[in-house]
Chain A
């Protein structure tokens, strides 16, 4: 049981990093991206390649994953941030679809649809961190650092400028904010953090393929942020716990017939989310727009 709980906790921590990074875009800057799984994937592939070709060092893999995701996020940010709202959603959707094809076809880098198998056990500065508890501690440390950085950034002028853009882009521009530069910066930062999460994910799974970076995954991450509550530190984490752990918890219910478990789980899961959005539209840990 301990091993199972540690595994769930590790996965929840990695998705916590991912949701917190998307919260930067959605919650603080008002940029709705449905391509976040792409940057998660870029980080995962970069981290896996570093581990397989160079050294399986978590720090190096995270740096590589973050850097690759940040660099390629410019490809989305520079052209797409010229447009607002739903147009950005459409542009990110296009990127998501394109990226899945590239992940499937770039056999030399991604292993194609078959993926990358045999990712070695993780080390950190030469120390073995592959034991479940130790790897979870590493992931928790990364999550804590990221949350701390987000808290500091959002309390400073960068964060206030982003929130001003979110609430009224025209007003922020009128006050002399360089909207395009700020938006580009936050997209690059958010995507880099998603890349870090991806590198950790590749070590956790010891296998990566395109099936983990699809549109469904992007929507799941977005749901975590929205259901948990946007523009709060705790919100995305609450969303992760609910969306990742609820299906796992439902599998323990003894009255669900074993062969119908999937369908019943999906039904309860969907119903819970619909009710939540009706009665807590700002998310579980979210605040209404007026109280932000």
Chain B
């Protein structure tokens, strides 16, 4: 009787195991879903394409190295670069696609998506927006790109060394531009320089002849502009066309191909995280080598950042798998806060409280259509 009971229990257990095992196996092998929320259509689609290419290369490397036990699938949502598009896209990624890691770009999109991602406990990683208001947006929102105020601080000693004291500034009147005004005004005063003019422009303006005339009148040693997108090329071209021969300087938004390839950009100074493609570390070398083989040219900072964003997920998920912990937004956040330092393209990235990342920064110059590190 006892044996019969055991047999029956054993039979039930075996039956249950037979029923559950495929589901467990399925759960074990079901892919990790990572999402992207970029503008994939409209005037900002160039950025969506740039960001995605970096992620695709990182995915190839993660798969080739068998870094994770489970495969990764990428869910794509078009944010249209609008807050509304960001909110709808983030809701789908979090609730329908069940993404645990969403790579995001653009300030308005980020701010609209952040409350939704936070409610759903989805990690959100920015590698494109550099406005200082993106720091501390949510515990689940992290930047893998140094914010613009950090870039300006790196520039100030170089300006002093090059004896560029009188700086004229053209900036988009948004949190990013206002942060540059504050940093330059404060920093130049401390290093013996002077902000001789600060000219604000709306984000969609394409005509800068009048601004160029005012800049010329202020007789600056250098002109700094803080803008983004297609407007950047227009600013550079129209400054040169209107007789501004002084040094022009900008921040990492100037690393996009349409700016680097512009003939008038020759000599442009651009601050960014280190993108010294001759750097000896293994991660950077592999990224650069494979990028050049695939795309027949050098990568941009945006390609690098989103490669790093995807690589960061793999490093965190790998750590969780080793510890036998389920990979969710919550556990990824805990792992990130535990580890903090990660080997990334361009050097070691240190994620700090407030959702920012400290990375080695550089000053580059565009020479012969290529961005080259000069300091």
Q: Which residues of A contact B (CB under 8 A)?
A: 1-4, 7-8, 11, 101, 104-105, 112-115, 117, 204-209, 211-212, 247-248, 251, 258-263, 265-266
Give chain B residues whose Cβ lies under 8 Å from the Cβ of A204: 87
Complex contact A266–B41 (CB within 8 A): yes
Q: Find residues 77-98 in chain B having any chain A CB closer than 8 Å to their own CB.
A: 77-78, 80-84, 87-88, 91-92, 94-96
Complex contact B76–A3 (CB within 8 A): no
Complex contact B78–A1 (CB within 8 A): no
Q: Which of A112, A207, A261, A266 contacts B111 (CB 8 A)?
A: A207
Chain A residue nearest to B131 (CB atoms) is: A114
Complex contact B83–A112 (CB within 8 A): no
CB distance from B231 to the nearest CB of A (A): 13
User: With A205-B84, A258-B75, A261-B40 as given contacts, are A113 and B203 in contact (CB-CB < 8 Å)?
Assistant: yes
Known: A117-B133, A211-B108, A262-B41. 8 other contacts (CB 8 A): A1-B96, A8-B88, A112-B178, A113-B172, A209-B108, A251-B78, A259-B56, A263-B40
**How many inter-chain residue pairs (CB < 8 Å) link A and B?**
104
Give chain A residues whose Cβ lies under 8 Å from the Cβ of B74: 258
Q: Which of A11, A112, A262 contacts B48 (CB 8 A)?
A: A262
22 contacts between A and B (CB under 8 A): A3-B95, A3-B120, A4-B96, A101-B202, A114-B133, A204-B87, A205-B83, A205-B112, A206-B112, A207-B111, A208-B83, A209-B83, A209-B111, A211-B81, A211-B83, A212-B83, A247-B78, A248-B92, A259-B76, A262-B42, A262-B48, A266-B42
Determine whether B297 belongs to the interface, using a CB cutoff of 8 Å to chain A. Answer: no
Residue-wise interface mask of B (99-138) relative to A, using a CB-CB cutoff of 8 A (1 in contact, 0 not): 0000000011001101100001000000000010100010
Complex contact B173–A207 (CB within 8 A): no
Residue-wise interface mask of B (2-33) relative to A, using a CB-CB cutoff of 8 A (1 in contact, 0 not): 00000000000000000000000000000000
Complex contact A7–B175 (CB within 8 A): no
Residue-wise interface mask of B (138-179) relative to A, using a CB-CB cutoff of 8 A (1 in contact, 0 not): 000000000000000000000000000000000011110010
User: With A1-B95, A114-B131 as given contacts, are A11 and B88 in contact (CB-CB < 8 Å)?
Assistant: yes
Complex contact A7–B41 (CB within 8 A): no
Complex CA–CA separation, A274 to B197 (angstroms): 49
Complex CA–CA separation, A220 to B330 (angstroms): 38
Determine whether B54 belongs to the interface, using a CB cutoff of 8 Å to chain A. Answer: no
CB distance from A149 to the nearest CB of B (A): 26
Complex contact A251–B92 (CB within 8 A): yes
CB distance from B55 to the nearest CB of A (A): 10
Determine whether B52 belongs to the interface, using a CB cutoff of 8 Å to chain A. Answer: yes
Give chain A residues whose Cβ lies under 8 Å from the Cβ of B56: 259
Determine whether B254 belongs to the interface, using a CB cutoff of 8 Å to chain A. Answer: no
Chain A residue nearest to B40 (CB atoms) is: A262
Complex contact B88–A248 (CB within 8 A): yes
Tell me whether chain A's interface is mostly helix, strand or loop, or mixed.
helix
Complex CA–CA separation, A149 to B314 (angstroms): 56
Q: Which of B49, B81, B115, B131 contacts A207 (CB 8 A)?
A: B115
User: With A115-B108, A258-B75 as given contacts, are A7 and B83 in contact (CB-CB < 8 Å)?
Assistant: no
Give chain A residues whose Cβ lies under 8 Å from the Cβ of B336: none
Complex contact B42–A212 (CB within 8 A): no
Give chain B residues whose Cβ lies under 8 Å from the Cβ of A262: 39-42, 45, 48, 78, 80
Q: Which of A104, A114, A211 contacts B202 (CB 8 A)?
A: A104
CB distance from A240 to the nearest CB of B (A): 13
Complex contact A3–B91 (CB within 8 A): yes
Complex CA–CA separation, A7 to B76 (angstroms): 18
CB distance from A122 to the nearest CB of B (A): 13
Give chain B residues whose Cβ lies under 8 Å from the Cβ of A8: 88, 91
Complex CA–CA separation, A209 to B81 (angstroms): 12
Q: Which of B40, B112, B137 contacts A259 (CB 8 A)?
A: B40
CB distance from A264 to the nearest CB of B (A): 9
Chain A residue nearest to B134 (CB atoms) is: A114
Complex CA–CA separation, A113 to B131 (angstroms): 11
Complex CA–CA separation, A7 to B83 (angstroms): 14
Give chain B residues whose Cβ lies under 8 Å from the Cβ of A247: 78
Give chain A residues whose Cβ lies under 8 Å from the Cβ of B120: 3
CB distance from B48 to the nearest CB of A (A): 7
User: With A101-B202, A207-B111, A265-B78 as given contacts, are A7 and B174 in contact (CB-CB < 8 Å)?
Assistant: no
Chain A residue nearest to B74 (CB atoms) is: A258
Q: Which of A7, A104, A251 contacts B173 (CB 8 A)?
A: A104
Top 6 nearest A-B pairs (CB, nearest first) are A262-B40, A262-B41, A113-B174, A262-B78, A258-B76, A114-B175
Specify which of B39, B48, B77, B91 lies most central, judged by the most chain A CB atoms within 10 Å of its CB: B91
Complex CA–CA separation, A101 to B76 (angstroms): 32
User: With A101-B202, A104-B202, A212-B83 as given contacts, are A261 and B76 in contact (CB-CB < 8 Å)?
Assistant: yes
Give chain B residues whose Cβ lies under 8 Å from the Cβ of A207: 83, 111-112, 114-115
Chain A residue nearest to B53 (CB atoms) is: A259
Complex CA–CA separation, A93 to B338 (angstroms): 53
CB distance from B117 to the nearest CB of A (A): 12
Complex contact B82–A212 (CB within 8 A): yes
CB distance from B112 to the nearest CB of A (A): 5
Complex CA–CA separation, A251 to B75 (angstroms): 10
User: With A113-B175, A251-B92 as given contacts, are A7 and B87 in contact (CB-CB < 8 Å)?
Assistant: yes
